[in-house]
Structure 1
Amino acid sequence: MSTVNIPDASSGDLNTDEIECILANYDSFIVTLARQVVARAHTPPDVLDMEIDEIAQMTRIKLWKTLRKTHVDNLRAYIRRIAHNEAINRLRQRKDVLPLPVDEHNEMTQEFNPLTQGEITHDPVHLYEQKEALAEQMRKLVALVMHLPQRQQQAMLCSLKERTDDLHALTRGFKLAGKDIEAIRWPYDKTDENRLRASLSFTRKRLRPHFEVA
């Protein structure tokens, strides 16, 4: 069985064949990301596949251009950022060409207000960026909690489950990381619970440099 050697993108000075090797080996990751970041709620079903293809292709092109000019320390993180930005760019482009509301005589309706259309209503770009920011915070939170010592991890998970507004999203986030938190709860014994809660202060201080949690 042969082994495929992927060029080191952090070394710089990659030639065309090496860049194409990187693109080929990361192509499935790029396509998966494109499917994840596409704004499904604001994309007509009949053009969804085409939109995914466009995001994936633009991600490949921008990655190619970057690798020709400079090195990349973390390829997966960089590709994720390209795909995310491209999805937002696609939304912005679509927002700029939204049709004007007209009546049966093809005249602009009196109730049309550019401010209302772009800002007062739910701006799809803003909503998408907000959703992605929350998803990124969830990924970061899960990764940090998963690396805590067992007792601190249990205390933080109990606190998060106790205080979250979206238990489903929290449970799903940890399940994707291989951690089933549905059965995790504070100890029934009050003394054990108080001891476990006592560790929260230290744990929060440990996580606070990254963001505010729990």
Structure 2
Amino acid sequence: MNEKLVWFDEPPRTTQPLSRERIVAAAVDLADAQADGEITMRALAQKLGVRSPMALYRYVGSKDGLADLMADHGYGLITVPRGEGWRPALRALGLSGWAAVQAHPWFARLAFSRPPLGPNAMALYDAALAELDSLDLPAATRMGFVNTVFGHVFGSGLALLEERTMRAGIGDATDADLAEAARPYLDRVAASGKYPYFTKWASDPGRDDSAPQTFEKILEWLLDGLETVPGND
């Protein structure tokens, strides 16, 4: 990591109508408006009414610095209740995290690419670890509990972002549009007899029923599994 982390520097004090908070808020709005969540410093400067993108670097250090700040904004939307035990804490972490990445799918990508070292991220990890502290578990296992839930949150969020990008790239296609586009190919697959069990599934009218593996259900399966870890009494 060649760039110095944005957390090392305080933003400059100035009378100009710019601030780190205003830049991050504008960046979040801009990213939310893009299917893939990608933004440029030039577009951000235009949104803020700033002549040159270079003016923004005084406040965020670099584009990576802006990404760190945006990611920490996302972590600030996640909550962990205190004093209710580890399972309610991690359930709330998962559910509020899922709400955050649904609102801001780009957050999932940043969570995988930037270190969680901002104040919101650190406070969140601290709160989650506090609820696990009384368990007779090694330090690596306690963090593993937290990261198991985060893996579900951010993996699901990344899938959501990729699907959103794909749909926008082909004209905001509906599920029915995608199914119709694939139908001639699937008809040829069925006729070939090469994949009989896939064809059996594809021809079953129940395949479009609601899937049992909702985000919430998978989260409960994960928590059930963590419940069985030795030392978690």
- The TM-score, its normalising length taken from structure 1, stands at 0.30
| CA radius of gyration, larger in | 1
Q: Normalising by the residue count of structure 2, what TM-score does the alignment of the two structures yield?
A: 0.28
